[in-house]
C-alpha cells in the first residue's frame, strides 16, 4: 500500500485543504460571534449601573434588626438612667454624711503626695474624696483633643481637711 493511500488528507489537493480550512475557521468564528451576541443582553444585565451600586451600598432593611437596635437603644437609655440614679443616690449619701466618727471626731484621713502638693481628705465613713479647688480634665472636644480642663470648686468639707492639716 502506498503512503498516500494511508493518509487520506494527502489525497486532498492544497486548494481543497485551503477551502476546508477557510470554511472551518469561518464556521467557528460565526459560532463564537453568535455566542457573544447571545451574551450581550446578559452582560448588559450584569453591568454595574450607578443605581445598582447604590443598591449594593444601601444596607438591607431588616425589620428584626431595626427592632433589635431599638430595643438596645431603650436598654442603653434605661441603664444610663439607672446609673445616673445610683450616682445621685451615692452623692446624696455622701452629702448627708457628717464625716464624723462615733467619738465625734472628724472621720477624715489626710492624703498627701498629690501632684499639686495640696492635701486631700478621704472620709472613712462614707468614702467621699474631699478635694480643694482644682482643675480636672473633662471629655475632649474640637479645641481640646486631649480633654477640656475645667475648674472645680472646693468640697464643702475641705475646710476640715485644712484644719486637720494645720494641726498635723
Ligand atoms: Zn463622710
CA of 129 to the centre of ligand 1 (A): 9
69 CA from centroid of ligand 1 (Å): 42
Residue 108 clears pLDDT 90, i.e. is over it? yes
pLDDT value, residue 10: 60
For 115-135, what is the mean pLDDT? 95
CA of 126 to the centre of ligand 1 (A): 4
Contact 132, 154 (CB under 8 A): yes
| This model's pTM is above 0.95 | no
Give me the long-range contacts of 126-132 (CB less than 8 A, separation at least 24).
Answer: 126/93, 126/94, 126/97, 126/99, 127/94, 128/94, 128/97, 128/99, 128/155, 128/157, 129/155, 130/99, 130/155, 130/157, 130/158, 130/160, 130/161, 131/155, 131/158, 132/158, 132/161
Say how many Å lie between the CA of residue 136 and the centre of ligand 1.
22
Per-residue pLDDT, 9: 55
**What spacing in Å lies between the alpha carbon of 79 and ligand 1's midpoint?**
27
Note the pLDDT tens digit of each residue in 15-65: 888 888 888 888 888 888 888 888 887 777 778 788 888 878 877 788 899
Strands (E), 26-125: 108-111, 120-123
Candidate from 3-12, 30-39, 52-61, 94-103 with smallest mean pLDDT: 3-12
CA 97 to ligand 1 centroid distance, Å: 4
Percentage of the chain lying above the pLDDT 90 cut? 61
Tell me, in angstroms, the distance from the centre of ligand 1 to residue 101's CA.
Answer: 9
Q: What is the pLDDT averaged over residues 115-141?
A: 95
Q: Give mean pLDDT, residues 162-167.
A: 94
Report the alpha-carbon distance of residue 131 to residue 108 in Å, rounded. Answer: 12
Q: How many whole angstroms from 138 Cα to the centroid of ligand 1? A: 25
Amino acid at each position: 500500500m502506498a503512503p498516500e493511500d494511508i493518509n487520506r488528507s494527502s489525497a486532498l489537493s492544497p486548494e481543497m485543504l485551503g477551502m476546508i480550512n477557510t470554511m472551518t475557521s469561518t464556521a467557528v468564528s460565526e459560532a463564537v460571534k453568535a455566542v457573544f451576541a447571545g451574551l450581550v443582553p446578559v452582560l448588559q444585565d450584569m453591568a454595574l449601573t450607578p443605581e445598582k451600586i447604590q443598591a449594593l451600598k444601601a444596607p438591607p432593611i431588616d425589620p428584626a434588626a431595626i427592632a433589635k437596635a431599638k430595643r438596645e437603644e431603650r436598654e442603653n437609655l434605661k441603664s444610663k438612667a439607672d446609673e445616673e440614679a445610683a450616682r445621685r443616690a451615692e452623692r446624696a449619701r455622701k452629702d448627708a454624711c457628717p464625716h464624723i466618727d462615733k467619738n465625734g471626731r472628724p472621720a477624715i484621713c489626710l492624703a498627701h503626695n498629690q501632684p499639686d502638693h495640696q492635701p486631700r481628705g478621704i472620709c472613712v465613713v462614707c468614702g467621699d474624696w474631699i478635694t480643694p479647688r482644682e482643675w480636672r480634665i473633662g471629655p475632649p472636644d474640637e479645641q481640646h483633643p486631649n480633654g477640656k480642663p475645667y475648674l472645680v470648686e472646693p468640697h464643702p468639707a475641705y475646710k476640715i481637711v485644712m484644719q486637720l492639716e494645720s494641726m498635723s
